[in-house]
Structure 1
């Protein structure tokens, strides 16, 4: 029996027992009266006090008969008990959020994306999706499809802004101003059978972009506690321009001004680990068990501090559609050395003491700094990303979703 994790409130439930929402079709079956909207105070209460009264009126929610729920299987429509019109729209029984029609049909991987304000989370996700749809998707023979109207609309708007208008995304709104919808995608990857047969494996990816203001302390972060505890992996974006030693070492240039110093990456890492341990995601010894990919962003700004042959300055090889473990290790060791040099390894020590499994990455979503005269714009050549896919591919490889090149054996596994 498939267990579904709601991508909005992160409650767990059996897919076969999820309620449905009536579509309120203008005419009922066999001349029956159509359903009208009803107050959905469960959904409105979850969304917060900012929901206008008119928006509370939604299609009626109903639980299908036992003989229907017992059938299981995804993509089924069931008739509304009032108007008789079939509906495929399932909703979370806890928060009444509508679920995309195919969300309950495959495994889900919830990826927590966190970082301080100005670390580039929104830009990162937009560029990552584009790379998975093009360069990286081609290398792995994979496809990525947005699920649900909210994600589809957001992707379209962000792609137009970033790749056509060359405008960077606005800052993520904090939880105090409303709930930020998660981004839902269906990732399809080829799968080889035990007897040599080929197939396709579908996995739902759920990204949640938490605003920097919500990571300033445990109380503000509480809105995202269930999200963090449900995550299969965390991508922590670290803006190197928040580190004092990096700011001091960068040469004076005519580029955009350095960002205002926000919550330190070390403090965010400590808050993350504390939240995870408080909700049962800890191991003996006090370290959080959720894997964390720590990604130093804006590596294009760090070129003066890097060796010309640094692996951070080029994209990872994806030879024959395999994830290169040796390349990952080289990047990890490079970042380990750099962080030790930059901040006396304070952040690194914090991470190693708080997380049982971590890996370090370096990436640039844009490939070059924004123009000095328009720091809210992408470079005139458009985004030319470097290694944006690395953190996600590592998390997927841990779940055996990607073939991995085994170090020292020269083969994929």
Structure 2
């Protein structure tokens, strides 16, 4: 009897029941909607039926205009599911995935009802977990995005039984031609993204080989950093951040005034690329608060946020035996590869060290993060492994810990386990 009672009290509670379907977040415009509210692109066109003529799609062209893209003149019509009889609707795993129109032509091309871009085939069947990146100007977002995606594709995915894939061929070509080849093959650093340049997001999916595990969508806006403190510009991306499942908040050590001059002095006569002073990290936090955090319950966001100190190779200028800022044997300068799970010992070491460092040199920023974000961790990354000189990377690019913040977000979102070292 005692054994039965003991089992009764110690049994693991049942796992939560998986929902029949999930709300969809569009990876292009970040509108959130029920799966029954998608629209469909017709699978054909007809000259004898005005409703099925080739035609301009105003919603799609309005979206393209936001990013300076040319309009598309003619496309097949879009179909509202409300005009389709229930018996002509097609479902998969309780999610509306197709319709048969009045000519008995089936289409499974689902579109976002707000911007009419194509939706991923998994939309509605899994959570729409989207990762966003924010940070001030010159923080190195473009370089970090390039280094992160390349690392995810070539290292991280294999270590977690997954693949990191672009959503379509257009994104694949744009990423390769405009980012990966110039940086990793030619060693050319990117010019700062102009605030007038509004480029379509890069959309990748981290897809696990185990079908029971949901894919994780990576949506990266290469947004001009100064836009993060310009109200009208931030509003364009506010829904992107608000509907994200995780945030990568990038911080440039050179933008921290308390150490900027000391770092430049220590670098000597050839310091490499040093950006001008721009918005301090705390100002970006304030802008985020004004535009979306203030609207959350208790004026805080529950979105897991990785605070990422970029260009960590610059911290060599601050290293010392007494560790006033950074110790000579700091974890910052050592690359770590997580395989199959988040190594909690490595994570706790870097998290503690970087939070202590930022608390020394920019306590207003750390205080602002503590006030507005409920779930944070601190990281340091070097997208290149060294500081470029004259817009050129010298030697082999050797990223340091670039995927660690992403792996932590996978852990926080329940995709992977975290374990102590054996």
TM-score range, shorter chain: 0.7 to 0.9
Other-structure match for 2:7: none
CA contact (8 A) 1:183 1:208 kept: yes
Give the whole-Å Cα distance in 2 for the aligned partners of 1:336 and 1:33.
62
CA contact (8 A) 2:380 2:401 kept: yes
CA contact (8 A) 1:187 1:202 kept: no
Query: Per-residue deviation at 1:52?
Result: 7.7
Other-structure match for 1:380: 395
State the superposition RMSD in angstroms: 2.9
CA contact (8 A) 1:41 1:56 kept: no
Match of residue 258, structure 1, among 274, 281, 290? 274
CA contact (8 A) 1:231 1:290 kept: yes
CA contact (8 A) 1:111 1:205 kept: yes
Question: Are the structure 2 counterparts of residues 80 and 120 from structure 1 closer, same or farther at C-alpha, using a change threshold of 3 Å?
Answer: farther
Other-structure match for 2:149: 129
Give the whole-Å Cα distance in 2 for the aligned partners of 1:116 and 1:49.
21
CA contact (8 A) 1:298 1:364 kept: yes
CA contact (8 A) 2:306 2:379 kept: yes
Other-structure match for 1:329: 348
Query: Per-residue deviation at 1:132?
Result: 1.2
Question: Are the structure 2 counterparts of residues 200 and 130 from structure 1 closer, same or farther at C-alpha, using a change threshold of 3 Å?
Answer: farther
Query: Per-residue deviation at 1:16?
Result: 4.1
Query: Per-residue deviation at 1:265?
Result: 0.7
The yes-or-no answer on 1:217 pairing with 2:234 is no
Question: Are the structure 2 counterparts of residues 247 and 41 from structure 1 closer, same or farther at C-alpha, using a change threshold of 3 Å?
Answer: same
Other-structure match for 2:369: 351
CA contact (8 A) 1:4 1:14 kept: yes
Query: Per-residue deviation at 1:324?
Result: 1.2
The yes-or-no answer on 1:238 pairing with 2:227 is no
Query: Per-residue deviation at 1:141?
Result: 2.3
Give the whole-Å Cα distance in 2 for the aligned partners of 1:389 and 1:5.
24
Other-structure match for 1:364: 382
Q: Counterpart of 2:214 in 1: which secondary structure?
A: strand
Other-structure match for 2:190: 169
The yes-or-no answer on 1:107 pairing with 2:127 is yes
Query: Per-residue deviation at 1:296?
Result: 0.5
Query: Per-residue deviation at 1:360?
Result: 0.9
Other-structure match for 1:287: 300
Q: Counterpart of 2:315 in 1: which secondary structure?
A: helix
Match of residue 136, structure 2, among 116, 125, 144? 116
The yes-or-no answer on 1:87 pairing with 2:107 is yes
Give the whole-Å Cα distance in 2 for the aligned partners of 1:233 and 1:54.
32
Match of residue 4, structure 1, among 24, 34, 42? 24
Q: Deviations over 1:193-241 (max 9, x none)?
A: xxxxxx5523131323232121123333111111111111111111111
CA contact (8 A) 1:115 1:238 kept: yes
Query: Per-residue deviation at 1:6?
Result: 0.9
Question: Are the structure 2 counterparts of residues 77 and 298 from structure 1 closer, same or farther at C-alpha, using a change threshold of 3 Å?
Answer: same
Give the whole-Å Cα distance in 2 for the aligned partners of 1:362 and 1:53.
39
**Which deviates further from its counterpart, 50-59 or 141-150?**
50-59
Other-structure match for 2:57: 40
Q: Which runs of 5+ in 1 are unaligned?
A: 192-198
Match of residue 290, structure 2, among 274, 285, 297? 274
CA contact (8 A) 1:322 1:402 kept: yes
Question: Are the structure 2 counterparts of residues 54 and 342 from structure 1 closer, same or farther at C-alpha, using a change threshold of 3 Å?
Answer: closer
Q: Counterpart of 1:295 in 2: which secondary structure?
A: strand
Other-structure match for 2:87: 67
CA contact (8 A) 2:39 2:111 kept: yes
Q: Deviations over 1:305-354 (max 9, x none)?
A: 132211111122425x22012211111111122123323x2211121122
Question: Are the structure 2 counterparts of residues 279 and 47 from structure 1 closer, same or farther at C-alpha, using a change threshold of 3 Å?
Answer: farther
